[in-house]
């Protein structure tokens, strides 16, 4: 898009400075396809999403308008941060041998978190939403079926489904 090779820069930002994180769907075979990058730090995520993007509003000191924009988009932003939170909780629990996300190449199916325990042959598919009422385990099961069909993983595993919301923090 920018007409230059940025692979080396992205590697430096990820490995040397830890400013970004490279994300791939769980069990993705290619290291270079279907990749997403995200800012590694929550403060930087907020800064670039709201402050840097709308600096022209700050320059004219229209703080009320920026506050409106933040309030309009905060649910989406905080939902992504909630996903990061639950990933961190699962990692720190020590209960799982692998934790990740999954999405298909078409962008039709996306699973917020998959937690696997190889030792017990079990996997938990998670839907993460801010509000508990927005969680649909039926939709999650459909997404999990797409995952199982696409990856051919977890054969013989005990599969379970769980919704997580701010109430579970």
Half-sphere exposure of 138 (CA within 13 A, CB side): 1
pLDDT digits (tens, 9 = 90+) for 118-135: 999 999 999 999 999 999
In a domain, 54, yes or no: yes
In a domain, 101, yes or no: yes
24: containing domain:
7-168
In a domain, 1, yes or no: no
Mean pLDDT of 109-124: 98
Which residue, among 45, 48, 4, 52, has the nearest Cα to 21 in the 3D structure? 45
The pLDDT of residue 144 is 98
Contact 117, 95 (CB under 8 A): yes
Total domains present in the chain:
1
The pLDDT of residue 2 is 63
In whole numbers, what is the pLDDT of the chain averaged over residues?
94
Model pTM score:
0.87
Could you identify the residue written with the tokens 């992504």? Answer: 80
């Amino acid at each position: 898009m920018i007409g230059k090779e940025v692979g080396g820069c992205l590697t430096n930002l990820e490995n040397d400075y830890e400013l970004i994180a490279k994300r791939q769907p769980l069990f993705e075979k290619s290291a270079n396809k279907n990749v997403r990058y995200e800012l590694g730090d929550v403060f930087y995520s907020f800064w670039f999403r709201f402050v840097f993007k709308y600096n022209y509003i700050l320059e004219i000191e229209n703080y009320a308008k920026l506050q409106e924009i933040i309030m309009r988009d905060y649910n989406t932003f905080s939902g992504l941060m909630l996903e990061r939170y639950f990933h961190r909780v699962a990692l720190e629990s020590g209960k799982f041998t692998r934790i990740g996300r999954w999405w298909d190449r078409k962008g039709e199916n996306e699973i917020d978190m998959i937690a696997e325990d190889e030792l017990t042959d079990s996997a938990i598919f998670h839907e993460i939403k801010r509000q508990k009422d927005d969680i649909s385990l039926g939709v999650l099961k459909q997404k999990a079926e797409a995952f199982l069909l696409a990856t051919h993983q977890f054969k013989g595993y005990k599969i379970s489904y769980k919704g997580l919301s701010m109430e579970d923090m």
